[in-house]
A and B are shown apart, each in its own frame.
Chain A
Amino acid sequence: MSTIINLSRRDFCKTGALLGGGLVLGFYYPGCKAGKKEEVKAVAPFIPNAFIRIGADDTVTIIVNKSEMGQGVYTSLPMLIAEELALDWSTIRIEPAPVDPAYNHTQWGPIQGTGGSTSIRSTWEQLRTAGATARVMLEMAAADIWQVDEKDCRAENGHIIHKGSNRKLSFGELVEKAADIEPPKDVTLKDPKDFKVIGRNKKRLDTPDKVHGKAVFGIDVMVPDMLTAVVARAPVFGGMVKSVNDKKAKEIPGVKAVVQIDSGVAVVADHFWAANLGREALEVEWDEGTLAALDTQNQGEQYVEMATKPGLIAAQRGDVQAALATAAQNIEAVYELPYLAHAPMEPLNCVAYVRPDSCEIWTGTQMQTSDRDAAVELTGLPPEKVTLHTTYLGGGFGRRAVGDAHFVREAVQVSMAVKKPIKVIWTREDDIHGGFYRPRAYNVIKAGLDAEGMPVGWQHRIVCQSIVEGTPFEMLIKDGIDETSVEGAADSPYDVPNFICDYQKAPSGVPVLWRRSVGHSFTAFVKEGFVDELAHAAGKDPYAFRRQLLAKHPRQQALLDLVAEKADWGNPSAKDRFQGIAIHESFGSFIAQVAEVSVSDAGKISVHKVVCAIDCGRTVNPDTIKAQMESAIVFGLSAAFYGEITFKNGRVVQSNFNDYEVLRMNEMPLIEVHIMPSEEPPGGVGEPGVPPIAPAVANAVFAAKGIRMRKLPMT
Chain B
Amino acid sequence: MISLDINEKKYQVEVEPDVPLLWVIRDHLQLTGTKFGCGISACGACTVHIDGEAERSCQVSAKEAEGKKITTIEGMPEDHPVKRAWIEDDVPQCGYCHPGQIMQAAALLAENPNPSDSDIDEAMSGNICRCGTYQRIRRAIHIATKSMPKGG
A residues engaging B (CB < 8 A)? Answer: 8-9, 68-72, 203-204, 206-217, 219-220, 222, 228, 253-254, 271-273, 343-347, 392-397, 425, 427-428, 623, 627, 630-635, 656-658, 662-666, 668, 670-671
Contacts and interface: CB of A to CB of B under 8 A. Distances in A.
Interface in B5-60: 16, 19-20, 23, 26-28, 30-40, 42-43, 45
Contacts of A215: 95
B44 to A, nearest CB: 10
B134 to A, nearest CB: 4
A637 to B, nearest CB: 8
A670 B33 CA distance: 30
Contacts of B98: 210-211
7 contacts: A212-B78, A219-B36, A343-B130, A344-B130, A346-B35, A394-B96, A428-B43
B121 A666 contact: yes
A630 B135 contact: yes
B90 A345 contact: no
Grouping DSSP codes into helix (H, G, I), strand (E, B) and loop, the A interface class, with mixed when no group exceeds half, is: loop
A354 B76 CA distance: 37
B132 A663 contact: yes
B99 interface: yes
Contacts of A273: 16, 19-20, 23, 27
- Per CB-CB distance, the 8 closest pairs between chain A and chain B, nearest first, are A213-B33, A634-B132, A394-B96, A210-B95, A70-B93, A70-B94, A213-B73, A220-B32
A312 B127 CA distance: 45
B138 A394 contact: no
Contacts of A272: 23, 26-27, 36
Interface of B: 16, 19-20, 23, 26-28, 30-40, 42-43, 45, 72-74, 78, 83, 86-87, 90-99, 102, 120-122, 124-138
B119 to A, nearest CB: 11
A221 B96 CA distance: 14
B38 to A, nearest CB: 5
Contacts of A207: 86-87, 90-92, 95
Contacts of A668: 134-135, 138
A473 B33 CA distance: 36
Nearest to A72: B93
Contacts, number: 178
A70, A212, A427, most chain B CB atoms within 10 A: A212
Contacts of B96: 217, 344-346, 394-395
B33 A631 contact: no
B75 to A, nearest CB: 9
A210 B93 CA distance: 9
A345 B37 contact: yes
A271 B28 contact: yes
Given A211-B102, A631-B131, A668-B138, A392 B43 contact: no
Given A207-B92, A273-B19, A222 B132 contact: no
Given A213-B99, A394-B35, A627 B90 contact: yes
A206 B132 contact: no
A443 B4 CA distance: 57
B30 A206 contact: no
B14 to A, nearest CB: 10
A565 B132 CA distance: 25
B127 A211 contact: no
Contacts of A71: 93
Given A345-B45, A347-B36, A666-B122, A69 B138 contact: no
B90 A203 contact: yes
Contacts of A203: 87, 90
Of residues A216, A273, A630, A635, which shows the largest number of chain B Cβ atoms within 10 Å of its Cβ? Answer: A273
A243 B139 CA distance: 54
Contact of A212 (B27, B28, B33, B137): B33
